[in-house]
Amino acid sequence: MHHANHYYGHSAVMARYCGLPESPDPPRIRGYLQHGWNIGDGMAPDHEFTPGVPSFVWSERTRRRAWSMGRRPVHVTGAPWAYLVEMTPAPDTAREGTIWYPFHGWEGQHVQGDHDRLIAEIRDTEAGPVTVCLYWQEYRTAGVRRRYERAGFRVICHGYRGGWWKNLDPGFLDRQLAEQRRHRRVASNRLCSAIFYGILAGCEPAVYGDPMQLRDERDLFGGRPRIRRQWAGLHGASIDPDAARAAAVDELGADRLLSPAELRLLFRWTSEGREAAA
């Protein structure tokens, strides 16, 4: 179905959890799998939907929002990240420093903001070594990447998310998890998927600095003001770890994970699933 199901290797992670054989061509999911944290119905606003085709969202909160918007049917499966954390034993090594995710653009919109001011704030806030993880677009922009390198930060990129069934990267989330588990803190200038991922991976979170913005950005579903209001406790240079953990479990559906048999049925990865859908 939709090519976004394969972003960041999501379909590959779910297939691995379900015990399917590894393949360079990830299995297709009949439905729309949420591929990033958002405050709407879990799906990208530019997606075209086929009526009657199911949506697979991360959390019960997102399912309720999707229902309120007329989406049918909607199933809570939990985030692929939560399954990956469950499947991957944590290394027995000490954590050090902060992994920092500057807010990024995407192929259709570039981010606008003052990277030098953000660098100064990171230096003033973080006590240990800093790894800056850039989205592939900013990483390939030499001027942006070099600013962070000149500041003395280690600069990395987890990879390309894939798109339109091309340049898929089944190992994207594995690299992200390995990097986050090296660090004591995870930080960004906006509350985002990477922050919730880092919390579930055992990092102390922080959200601070110039939030920047996308060119011609629109605040959908209440946008940035609503995020600041609804998740006020997840903003700041120091955040209560217990409250952060509870929020991450809730938003990623880490307490709602399904069994491999249930997922195979929902995704039509078994003959029973195909018959049930028919």
Furthest CA-CA distance within the chain: 59
Q: What per-residue confidence (pLDDT) applies to 130? A: 98
Q: What per-residue confidence (pLDDT) applies to 106? A: 57
Residue 20 has pLDDT above 80, yes or no: yes
What are the structural domain ranges in the chain? 3-87+253-277, 98-252
Surface-to-core class of residue 163, CB atoms within 10 Å of its CB (0-12 exposed, 13-18 middle, 19+ buried): middle
Write out pLDDT tens, residues 175-218. 999 999 999 999 999 999 999 999 999 999 999 998 887 666 66
Q: Which of 92-101, 203-212, 218-227 has the lowest mean pLDDT?
A: 218-227
Task: Tell me which residue of 86, 75, 38, 87 sits closest to 267, measured CA to CA.
Answer: 75
Write out pLDDT tens, residues 49-89. 788 899 999 999 999 999 998 888 999 999 999 999 999 99
Q: Which of 19-23, 103-107, 207-211 has the lowest mean pLDDT?
A: 103-107
Task: Tell me which residue of 58, 12, 72, 89 sits closest to 258, measured CA to CA.
Answer: 58
Q: For 246, phi and psi rounded to 5 degrees?
A: -60, -40
| H-only helix segments in 25-171 | 60-68, 80-87, 115-125, 136-139, 142-150
Q: What per-residue confidence (pLDDT) applies to 197? A: 98
Q: What per-residue confidence (pLDDT) applies to 278? A: 45
- Per CATH, the number for 98-252 is 3.40.50
Q: What per-residue confidence (pLDDT) applies to 45? A: 73
pLDDT band for 23, please (50, 70, 90 cuts).
Answer: confident
Give the separation between CA 187 and CA 80, rounded to whole angstroms. Answer: 21
**pTM of the model as a whole:** 0.93
Q: 113 is written with which tokens?
A: 């903001």
Chain mean pLDDT for the chain: 90
Sign of CA dihedral 223, 244, 236, 89: negative
Write out pLDDT tens, residues 51-62. 889 999 999 999
